[in-house]
Amino acid sequence: DILYLQPIFEAYSVHKYDTTDYFKIDPGYGTLEDFTELKDALHKRGMQLVLDGVFNHIGIRSHWFEEAMRNASSEQRNWFFIGPEYGSLGYKAWQGGGTLAELRLEDVELQKRIWNDTDSVVGTWLHNGADGWRLDVATEIGREYLEDLKKAAHHHQYGSLVVGEVSAYPRWWSEAMDGVLSFWMGWIIKSVVTGEMGGVFGGMQIQELIYKSSMEQMLRSWVVLSNHDLPRLTTVYPDIALRKFAVTLQFVVPGNPCIYYGEEIGMEGATDPYNRAPMEWEKVGQPDNEMYTHTISLVRMRRYHRALRVGDFFQLMSFGLLAFIRRTDRIDELVVVLANPTATEVNERVNIPVEDILEFTQFRDVLTGDTCRVHGATMQIAVPPHSARIMTMVHELGPNGDQYKRIWGHWETFDTVRPSFSLGNSIHATIKDSRGASHYDDELQELR
């Protein structure tokens, strides 16, 4: 679990994206001692702390920029784009606004100051106890420098995390960093929820991205539905059923759900500054807050079911459902997700093409407790409108559990069962045993 903070460094504005000093905590947020106390408290809970790195641009009140504008021969002059070609401002400003000056990351000395040197911005705060960085407008930093920054962070602190804000298609960006804040996945979810994209087509898009990148890259990324630049979910979906549906999908697709503060209690807000209002702490923990209790149940579900955290993704064929399975190396951890984005109940029979799911196995919906049984590798259960069934295998004793005794990865599996014969690997073993390793590749290709 991670606590990700938006910019905490000294800045002039309320939002703090116009940094004036990367090495000082803004007095409005506290002191270095407060930072240390927070970091220690998180680590005691087994959590990590990720900071917001705004390295594409900096506030014009920063001493770096002021020195660059004051002294044409200063080192800092090379850290910015300054000249008459930039119009009346005399410098390149981010998105044309005058308060944010773009950094010329091509300068080697600036790279040292931001990420390469031990006492760089990245290095300093990792040594101070932060566990990673979220990079603002990562796509404008460029993949080459993102790769360099990631390697530098890993050098400063082994196991540190570098993720970036990416609104583009995630492939390649998720290679340059440890992961991305996937607004793409967020828009897939929101489009399915609103009906702008069919559930089947949404599943196809997820499957295609896995094919084009990798499952590992998907699992390392964060799934973003809302943040400080987007309207809050309560504003987008006044109907709590739609809101709960969207957040449920956020917790079951590949990736890590990134919850913007206050979404779990139903805070409202359309645009800045309303979507950046202070946390309404008085609403936390209220038992009659339906959104809060639903979010807590999703957190517990994801912690308990390993497949939702690290499992592969396989889309299931359906007429109208976003249907897929998440699975690990253990068959008893498999999760079937049946999501209905339509306004009417769907009661399809869905094929479950997994050889190790046996007849009459019982599955239970984590959210409602409703159950169904597998027949002939198919599953059928009514899915209410704008909702999802999260089906997991029921721990049954007796014949229904005992039939798995020679299937790897089940609670009834005999100790003598070898995992090498699971997931179709018996084909590999048979070919290698009977004909030798030299014939393996050719024979396997013929079988395919």
Task: To the nearest 10°, report the CA torsion of 48, 52, 53, 56.
Answer: 150
Cα–Cα distances (Å) from 97 to 6, 64, 81, 167, in that order, read 21, 18, 14, 21
Q: Which residues contact 186 (CB under 8 A, 6 or more apart)?
A: 223, 224, 225, 226, 250
Cis peptide before 27 (omega within 30 of 0): no
Both structure tokens of 181: 């804040």
Known active-site residue 165: yes
Q: CA-to-CA distance for 422 and 430, rounded, in angstroms?
A: 13
Instruction: Give the DSSP letter of residue 105.
Output: T
Q: Which amino acid, residue 218?
A: M
Contact present, 127 and 157 (Cβ < 8 Å): yes
Helices (H), 262-351: 290-304, 306-310
Pick the catalytic residue: 52, 102, 165, 332?
Answer: 165
Pick the catalytic residue: 52, 136, 263, 332?
Answer: 136
Helices (H), 262-337: 290-304, 306-310
Catalytic site residues?
136, 165
